[in-house]
């Protein structure tokens, strides 16, 4: 039986040992680790999974992604999505790691102090965010254009920053392989829990006259 619970301080030595076994003792040199180094853990979003004997078998820590200053888009359903999108040799979008040769888009919010102008190729910003002067280390500023017509204020604007570990595209692209046990099982989990898989990292409500 697997038990999932909030992480305890006593879990941390086991967590570090587990990560060493999974990713190697040089894991701190990896690009993904360097990008996370300056980010603080999000409050209440660190979890541990233990087996029936209480031994740590998995761990998840969500770190703060940055500061969302405003919402984005011109329509109510428009959202700003911070994500990496991989491309194959022909420039087509792919979620297959074997087929991927580059990033078509990578606008994951940058850690404080990150200089995208001097970043090396393996951690560079890709896509429109590379030329966006408001997309900088630690934050992004985006603008909401809401057609108000003849409506009169005041107006209430609510902004949320959500984190979702697995996007819809990544999950659904496993569909052709669902005859195999592992993809079938994963798609079943995603179908049952995908709608509730996001975590709210930040929320702000303001009134505009």
Q: Does residue 44 fall inside a structural domain?
A: yes
Residue 101, token pair as written in the block: 């040769």
Q: Does residue 190 fall inside a structural domain?
A: no
Q: Does residue 56 fall inside a structural domain?
A: yes
| Owning domain of residue 49 | 3-63
pLDDT at 147: 64
Q: Does residue 33 fall inside a structural domain?
A: yes
Q: Does residue 35 fall inside a structural domain?
A: yes
pLDDT at 128: 85
Contacts of 198 (CB under 8 A, 6+ apart): 162, 163, 164
Instruction: Give the residues of the chain that fall short of pLDDT 50.
Output: 35, 38-40, 64-77
pLDDT at 114: 93
pLDDT at 177: 80
Between CA 209 and CA 193 the distance in angstroms is 39
| Strand pairing category for 155-163 and 199-208 | antiparallel
Q: Does residue 80 fall inside a structural domain?
A: no
Asked if 52 and 1 count as a contact pair (C-beta separation under 8 A), the reply is yes
Burial of 173 (0-12, 13-18, 19+ CB in 10 A): middle
pLDDT digits (tens, 9 = 90+) for 5-39: 887 878 878 888 887 887 777 766 665 555 455 44
Residue 78, token pair as written in the block: 């428009």
Q: Does residue 180 fall inside a structural domain?
A: no
Q: How many domains does the chain have?
A: 1
pLDDT at 78: 56
pLDDT at 118: 92
The C-alpha angle with vertex 133 and arms to 37 and 40, in degrees rounded to 5, equals 20
pLDDT at 125: 93
Residue 206, token pair as written in the block: 């303001």
Between CA 46 and CA 61 the distance in angstroms is 4
Q: Does residue 37 fall inside a structural domain?
A: yes
């Amino acid at each position: 039986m697997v038990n999932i619970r909030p992480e305890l301080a006593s879990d941390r030595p086991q967590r570090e040992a587990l990560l060493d076994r999974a990713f190697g003792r040089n894991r701190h040199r990896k690009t993904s680790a360097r990008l996370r180094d300056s980010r603080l853990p999000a409050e209440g979003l660190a979890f541990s999974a233990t087996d029936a004997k209480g031994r740590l078998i998995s761990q998840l820590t969500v770190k703060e992604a940055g500061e969302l200053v405003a919402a984005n888009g011109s329509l109510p359903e428009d959202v700003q999505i911070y994500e990496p999108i991989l491309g194959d040799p022909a420039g087509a979008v792919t979620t297959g790691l074997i087929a991927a040769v580059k990033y078509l888009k990578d606008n994951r919010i940058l850690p404080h102090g990150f200089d995208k102008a001097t970043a090396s190729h393996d951690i560079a910003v890709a896509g429109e965010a590379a030329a966006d002067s408001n997309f900088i280390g630690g934050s992004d500023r985006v603008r909401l254009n809401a057609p108000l017509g003849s409506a009169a204020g005041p107006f209430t604007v609510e902004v949320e920053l959500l984190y979702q570990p697995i996007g819809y595209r990544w999950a659904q692209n496993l569909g052709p392989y669902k005859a195999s046990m592992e993809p079938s099982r994963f798609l079943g989990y995603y179908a049952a829990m995908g709608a509730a898989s996001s975590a709210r990292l930040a929320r702000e409500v303001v009134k505009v006259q």
